[in-house]
Structures are given as structure tokens and as C-alpha cells.
Amino acid sequence: MKTLIKGGLVLLQDESGWRYEKQDILIEENRIAKITPSAVFEDCRVLDASGKLVMPGLINAHTHAYMTIHRNYADDLAFFDWLDKVQKVEDGMTEEDVYWTTLLAIIEMIKSGTTCFVDMTIKSAKEMTGPLSAAAGAVRDSGFRAVISRGLAGVSDSDESIMKYGQAVREMEMFREEKRLQFMHGPHAPYSCMADYLEKLTRSCKERGIGQTIHLSESLAEMDGIKKEHGTTPIQYVYDLGVFDVPVIAAHCVYATDEDIEIMAKKGVSIALNPKSNMKLGNGFAPAHKFLNASINVCLGTDGCGSNNSLNLFQEMNAAALVYKGANRQAQCVGAADVLRMATVNGAKAIGREGELGEIREGALADLILINLNEPQFMPANNIISGLVYSANGSEVDTVIVDGRILMENRKLTTINETEVFKACREIQDRLCMEKENRL
């Protein structure tokens, strides 16, 4: 099956930066076969992109998709009070709950232009036979793309930790043939994973040729706790344990020191910024400009709906482009072009898909979104890059293509029954969330 995207502005990137120009794009199966100023091909489905911008799908480099159940639930709480409240809900979740809440997350991401996400799925203490499988199943059934890890915590020789680790490995094998799915290990954080468990997971990554994603230096409480227990920073602590000897996406890094930054640059760690979550939980502002100056691969995540309330990467790009300027009182420390790279090219690099995702080029995977430029927030179109970061809100996303397949066209989903998903998630809410007032 061939698809021709015709008559649109196409967002391209090379060594000199971003540019946009009138081009047609031919998709054959799941890849971009041709980019040309004017194309006529037979036996193609034609998508009219006139008045639209064709750009790479956005990559959410850190989230917890199942946490849509926590949206607007545990707000305005201190970090560890928030963590305790959401954990109580998680302890009651089943594999089926994870499936439906992940589908709900995918709906939101599709509608706001994300085509791939890096997920740390549930780390609940409740015995589950397949939480990673539930999340992976939602991705498979929707036609989406994801990198999924099971949230892991504990010590390596406890019955619960052994059980969860074994589950994660078995579930990875179950979905090994799914081309839109990748897997990582997901040690939750240095305060919830003991040293022997972090070492075990890193060895497992080396054996399987995968990376891992972990929360690091997210809060002052974490910093103080690790300093008191181990005499160092969380980043230095996991570095000493060898965690960075495999590819790592480190989420947050709000309190990374200059020495921490030097370590992460040396080890090739990717950092997933989550500015809205960090602000909401009162955790502060990551030194994003220092990460960029150190040539660290900086990408962008939303975190989960419990600590952000939204999975909209256009909103996250806007926050990232603004908050670090304000925090540093410097208007040029993080620019619109930088942020757009975080949400596209850099996200692809973080998951080992550089050159295949996050950019439009011949041979790349056809993960694309079409943006309606005939909206007031894009007029006048003085600078479309600035418009995407400072003006867009995600509602302009008209069409979404993942792996060559159209998942949304003219704002209508093609692979997911929204009514069915909403009904299932309301039933989960009724069963698990204690607050009963103001229900719809």
C-alpha cells in the first residue's frame, strides 16, 4: 500500500537546523520512500496536505501511561505525600485496568501529535501476571509505537523482586516479534531499588542488548536521603554501581550537580526533562541549559497524568521553552529550535532509533503528523518553528501516521473506539478512586 502526502509544507532538518519547504512525500509500506517537490504516482492513496505542515511525530521520552487513572486525583500535594496517595490506587489495579488506562493515554497522545512514548508501567506491590503485557497489548492493538519497561523496585533476592523481574523478562520475549515495540528495564529510582537490584538489572540489560530508564535526582528529599545513606548524589551513586554502562534515559535530573552533568556527558546518558511535572510537584527546575552546553542528549517527557494531568507534548514544549528562561533569567538559554529537537530527533536518539524516527528523510519510518496551519494561533506565519513551540496547543493536529498506517484522519481515530475506552476507564475510576464527588 502506498500513500502520497501531497501539497503540504514539510518540516526538514539538516546540519544547519530546521527548515520547511513545499514537498510531496511518498510512503511505501511503513517507510518514507520519496521526498520530491512535485510527485505523481499511480496506485496511491492521496492525502491532501494543502494548508498543513507535515512534521515528524513527537516522541514522549518519559511517561507512565497507566496513570491516566490518576488524572486530577492527587493534586497539590508534597512529592512523597503524592507518591503515597497514587500508590494506594495502583495497589488495586489489575492487568485489564492497565490495558484500558494505557489505551486512554494513547488516545490523548495521538490527538496531540505524539507517535511514540517511553513508558515505565506499573510497579505495584500487588501480584500481577502481566502488567507489561497489558501495556504492550494496548500499543499493539492501537497501532501505536512505544518503548516499554516494567517499573521495578526492591532488592534482588526478595521473592517479590524475583517475581517481577522474571515477569518482565518473560513478557519482553512474548512481544519480541512486534516491530513497533521495544523494551527496557525500568528500575524505579535509587531510593526504591537497592544496590544489588540495580546491579542485577544492569547485567540483564547487557545480556539482552537493551537499555534502562530510571528516575534520578527528582526531588530534594531524594537528594538528602541518598546523601545521608550513601554519602553522594543519586547520579554519582548509580554511576558507581555501573548503571550507566548500558544506554540510559534518566528522567528529571532536577538537582544534577556540575559533577553529575560531567558524568552523564561522559557516559552518553540521555536526560528526559519533565518541566510541568517538576513544577506541579514543587520539585524545581532542571539545569537544562547546562545539559545542552555539555552536549548531553536532552529529550522531553510529560511524566504521568498524576503529576502533570496531561500527556500533550505541545504543551510540554511550550513549558520547556519558557520555564528555563524564567528560572535562569536568560531569554536565550533554551530556544524553540532546541525544544523541537528534544521532542523529535533527540527522543529518537534516546531510544536508539536515530535516523529512523524523529525526522523526515527518505528511508525513515513513516511516523508523521499533519498540522493544520489555518488556525489563528499560526497567523501570521512569521516563523513556523516558533509557532510550533510558543503558539500551538495540540488541537491543530489533523492527521497522525504511525509505521505508515493512518491512526487519525481529520481528527477522527481509525483504530480505537473512544466510547469503549472511556466507559472502561470510568468503571475503573468508580472502583479504585476514593473521592466520589464531582463525578461525570
Question: Each residue of 103-155: pLDDT tens digit?
Answer: 999 999 999 999 999 999 987 655 566 888 999 999 999 999 999 999 998 88
Q: Is 390 exposed, middle or buried (0-12, 13-18, 19+ CB in 10 A)?
A: middle
Q: What is d(CA 261, CA 284) in angstroms, rounded to the nearest whole number?
A: 17
Q: What is d(CA 166, CA 303) in angstroms, rounded to the nearest whole number?
A: 26
pLDDT at 438: 45
pLDDT at 163: 73
CB distance 150 to 131 below 8 Å: yes
Q: What is the pTM of this model?
A: 0.95
CATH code for the structural domain at 58-350:
3.20.20.140
pLDDT at 379: 94
The segments of the chain whose pLDDT lies below 50 read: 436-440
Pairing relationship of beta strands 212-216 and 248-252 according to DSSP bridges:
parallel
pLDDT tens-digit readout, 34-43: 999 987 778 8
Which residues pair with residue 46 across a beta bridge? 4
Q: Is 207 exposed, middle or buried (0-12, 13-18, 19+ CB in 10 A)?
A: exposed
Q: What is the CA radius of gyration of the chain?
A: 21
pLDDT at 127: 59
Q: What is d(CA 344, CA 314) in angstroms, rounded to the nearest whole number?
A: 12
Angle between the N-to-C axes of helices 159-174 and 131-142, in degrees from 0 to 180, rounded to the nearest 10: 20
What is the residue extent of each domain of the chain?
A: 2-56+366-413, 58-350
Please give the grid coordinates belonging to residue 15. 546540519
Q: Is 157 exposed, middle or buried (0-12, 13-18, 19+ CB in 10 A)?
A: exposed
Dihedral angle over CA of 393, 394, 397, 403, nearest 10? 150
Q: What is d(CA 129, CA 126) in angstroms, rounded to the nearest whole number?
A: 10
pLDDT at 287: 98
CATH code for the structural domain at 2-56+366-413:
2.30.40.10
